[in-house]
Amino acid sequence: MTAAAPLLEVKNLRVEFPTRHGTLLALDDISFAISPGEVLGVVGESGAGKSLTGAAIIGLLEPPGRIAAGEVRLEGRRIDNLPHEQMRTIRGRKIGAIFQDPLTSLNPLYTIGRQLTETIQTHLPVGGEEARQRAIRLLQETGIPAAEQRIDQYPHQFSGGMRQRVVIALALAAEPKLIVADEPTTALDVSIQAQIIALLKRLCKEHGAAVMLVTHDMGVIAETCDRVAVMYAGRIAEIGPVHEVINRPAHPYTVGLMGSIPAMDEDRERLAQIEGAMPRLTAIPRGCAFNPRCPRVMERCRSQRPELMPAGATRAACWLVSETRQAAA
């Protein structure tokens, strides 16, 4: 693999859920790549498909969910079609995962040290003492004071923020190439959120890991990410460098998301809001899925589905982009 090659490639990913009433399409033709050391944010409202994309990548789709088409490649190797045991090995060694609630990621019956050392020894050829020392270093790196003593404590003896630091240490334990972080700060106080995000960003840069950060918080995206993918109804609506997407959004849905963020230099009584709600999987509209909520909808939007197309420094799935390009030509 060359230095310029992406670490993770997701190509035309399609996830379906078979039901008694037919097959529901949850992810439709998702494609993106992440380079080594890069942080890609994935943002959108609840139900957009953000967490499902992460679950599909790390092989943790809940049955009957299945990858129906497309592929996922890590360091050039296809991983979406691997047997369960092979994928389990990759998930620990090559891919680290950080979930929303640290209590669901930690076993309450085992000490923090046992969970860390078992993870390290499962994936790296080290002895017990070396694994313990590595675990202590990881706890120190993640900002846990008195790590030599606290390593022998149980999860319930840690605060929420400290437990999330332990989960980050667990995710980094086997020195993975990719971290999938699914809403890693949602359950935490705002002041702790900032610390966790800064910590995650610093550690991943130091370890050279790529990060896929799933969140609904545009503030977190702005502070943390290099690029951002905006998802809507199981598709990518816009993707590009984070400062371009935030400051010059091309898709009306992205414009709506940006308008909902309070600006410190503006005096507004009310924040902008996007009318309506995310469509259910059983009722995704024809054409552009956003068309019933879009303030700039055209007739074409109701019948034809736009693909991602160049929109300045970003790419957006919107017919307005096509109209603008034609007018400019």
Residue whose structure tokens are 């498909």:
49
Poorest-pLDDT segment among 84-93, 108-117, 317-326: 317-326
Q: Is the pTM of this model over 0.85?
A: yes
192 pLDDT exceeds 90?
Answer: no
Which range has the worst mean pLDDT, 1-10, 212-221, 312-321?
A: 1-10
307 DSSP assignment: P
Structure tokens at 14: 């399609």
Alpha helices by DSSP H, 19-76: 50-57
Cα–Cα distance between 50 and 289 in angstroms, integer?
16
Return the percentage of the chain with pLDDT > 70, whole number.
94
| Whether the predicted pLDDT of 203 surpasses 90 | no
What's the pLDDT at 202?
84
State mean pLDDT over 236-264: 90
Give the model's pLDDT for residue 197: 83
Q: Is the pLDDT of residue 328 over 70?
A: no
Side-chain half-sphere CA neighbours of 215 within 13 A: 25
pLDDT number for residue 327: 62
pLDDT grade for 206, boundaries at 50, 70 and 90: confident
Q: pLDDT tens digits, residue range 33-50? A: 999 989 999 999 999 999
Greater model confidence, 249 or 272: 249
